[in-house]
Amino acid sequence: MGLERYRYIVVEGPIGVGKTTLARKLGEHLGASMLLENPDAIPFLPKFYLDMTRYALPTQLSFLFQRVDQVASLAQMDLFGGATVADFLFDKDPLFAEMILNDDEFRLYSDIYRHLRVQAPTPDLVIYLQADIDTLIDRVRSRSRDYESKIGDGYLRKLTERYSRFFYDYADAPVLIVNTENLNLVENADDFRLLLRRIEGMRSSREYFNKA
C-alpha cells in the first residue's frame, strides 16, 4: 500500500527542526488539508521568552485553547474524505506544561486540560524529526522571528531532551523517527522522495530513517 493509507499524518519535533515546513511540503504533495500551529496568534509568546516565570501559564493555556479548537474539527473528520497533515500532536501538549509551569500552575493546567481535551482521531502516522542540539540552536538563531532570539540555549536543550523522552514511550500511533542532520527534505527533491519511499515501506509501529 502507498501513502493513501495515511489519512492523518502528524509531523513533530522540537523548535527549529523543520516540522512546519515539512508538514506544508507533505500537505502539498498529498493535496491534504493542513492543521498548523499559529504561534503568531499567541500574544504572550514574545513576553514568555523574556520572562518565562511570569508568562508561562498564560502562554501554555493560550496554546492549549488554540490546539483544542484546531483538533475539534478532526473529531468529526469524514472517514471518506481527504488526508490531513498537522505540525503538532495534541497529546504532546503537557510536555511543555510540565517543563515550564510550577507545581500549582501545573495542577491548574492539568484540570483545564482534562476538561477541555477532545477526542481527536489517533494519527495514522507520526513523523518525529530529530537533529543535534547545536544544529537546532543554529536554525533557531537564523530564523526571522525576533522573539525567538531571546530563547536560551538551556531551554532548547531541555526541550529537546523532553521530546526524546516523550517519543521514547509514545506508542499510540506508528512513528517514523527521522534524523534530519544529513537531509534537506524541503529543498532537495531526492531527499523528499527518499522520505516518501521510507513512509510507503513502513511495516512496523516504530521505524527509523537515517541517511548516512
Q: What is the pLDDT of residues 149-176, one digit of tens each?
A: 778 889 999 999 999 999 999 999 999 9
Residue 80 pLDDT > 60: no
Q: Which helix (H) or strand (E) holds 8?
A: strand 8-12
Average pLDDT, the chain: 90
Residue 48, pLDDT score: 93
Residue 121 pLDDT > 60: yes
Q: Which helix (H) or strand (E) holds 206?
A: strand 206-210
Q: Quick one: which of 152, 157, 160, 165 has its CA closest to 52?
A: 152
What's at 197, amino acid-wise?
A: R
Residue 103 pLDDT > 60: yes
Query: How many Å apart are CA 117 and CA 115, to the nearest integer?
Result: 6
Query: How many Å apart are CA 28 and CA 121, to the nearest integer?
Result: 21
Class for the domain spanning 3-210: alpha beta
Between 85 and 143, the more confident residue is: 85
Residue 142 pLDDT > 90: no
Question: pTM score, two decimals?
Answer: 0.92
Residue 144, pLDDT score: 61
With b for 16 or more beta-carbon neighbours within 10 A and e for fewer, the 87-103 pattern comes to bbbbbbbbbbbebbbee
Kindly list the distances between the CA atom of residue 201 and the CA atoms of 43, 97, 98, 141, 153, in Å, as whole numbers in the listed order. 42, 35, 35, 35, 37
Query: How many Å apart are CA 96 and CA 112, to the nearest integer?
Result: 15
Length of the chain: 212
- What grid cell was written down for 192? 523528499
Residue 212 pLDDT > 90: no
